[in-house]
Amino acid sequence: MNSPANPYADLVATYARLFREGKSYPLGGFAPCAPVAQSADAPIALIFSPHPDDECIIGGLALRLLRECGWNVINVAVTQGSARARQAERFQELRNACRFLGFSLLATAPNGLEKVNPKTRKSEGATWEGMVDGVAGILRMQRPRVIFFPHELDWNSTHIGVHFLVMDALRAVGEPRTVHLVETEYWGQMADPNLMVESGAGDVSDLVTGLSFHVGEVKRNPFHLLLPAWMQDNVRRGSELVGGQGEAAPDYSFATLYRHRVWRDGHIGAVPRLGRKLGAEETPAELFA
């Protein structure tokens, strides 16, 4: 009796072949996505990116807020990388990526901030306070409804530093207004995400393309080609970490995991509904009503 053909061999071979082929695709240089109409009083979402490229990696929900709800999404370039010889080039790559996606762009300093890490926070108080004042000024000026920034255990020292920089800036602002906090992950996975957001294939394609504008970085490590697989694995993890142990996975191809909390009256508070899965048919603005 003949054994049936194994379709999984073709599946895995196709994954490997597409990854190899992707390394030959052009980097950047694509026409911007179609512009989105925005009102003058559109809600503002700030992405505090530790490095140029993070805006694309964790940008699934932000891109949906822009495209589906007309929000003004502003990427705040906290640093421009640690290699000073590459900082101007990386900022130009970032400008190109944000232009492609339709994100606005705001710099923290002419060459970005440096030494944004827990060690500086602990041992160089004056330097840290100066950075906190700068970020607090951005918060006062922009008055965002939503802030995206890394969670406190995101492994990379700059990612962790940006977490504490944003939290210290929120305390420095000291206003009672409610701000939604959307914590992100990349290098270090969160143990307790409470929000899984689906992305359609079109959005994922644009996030990958946006990453390709970060030419110097993806030549070193083609992580733009791995983004779809990472977002697929988020569906696996999120089905139980967000939905509950033993829950079936939703019928998503791609998703991003976040931790959604609120900043109110100088304190972090939980959102009313935990374990939220936001599908493509739902409007993301309802998360922040």
Contact 229, 208 (CB under 8 A): no
Q: What is the mean pLDDT of the chain?
A: 96
Q: Per the structure block, which two tokens stand in for 66?
A: 């822009």
Per-residue model confidence (pLDDT) at position 6: 94
**Contact, 88 vs 220, CB < 8 A?**
no
| pTM score of the predicted model | 0.96
**pLDDT score recorded for residue 274:** 74
Domains of the chain: 41-288 (3.40.50.10320)
Task: Give alpha helix (H) positions in 115-259.
Answer: 118-123, 125-142, 157-173, 201-212, 215-220, 223-241
Query: Bridge-partner residues for 146, per DSSP?
Result: 45, 180
Strand pairing report for 267-270 and 255-264: antiparallel
Contact call for residues 103 and 55 (beta carbons, < 8 A): yes
Count CA atoms within 13 Å of residue 285 on its CB side. 12
3-class DSSP string for 13-79: HHHHHHHHHHCCCCCCCCCCCCCCCCCCCCCEEEEEECCCCHHHHCCHHHHHHHHHHCCEEEEEECE
First and final C-alpha spacing in the chain: 61
Residues forming beta bridges with residue 147, ordered by sequence position:
46, 181
Q: Tell me, what's the pLDDT at 276?
A: 94
CA gap 165, 93 in Å, rounded: 24
Q: With a cut of 70, list the residues of the chain below it in pLDDT.
A: 1
In the chain, the amino acid numbered 205 is S
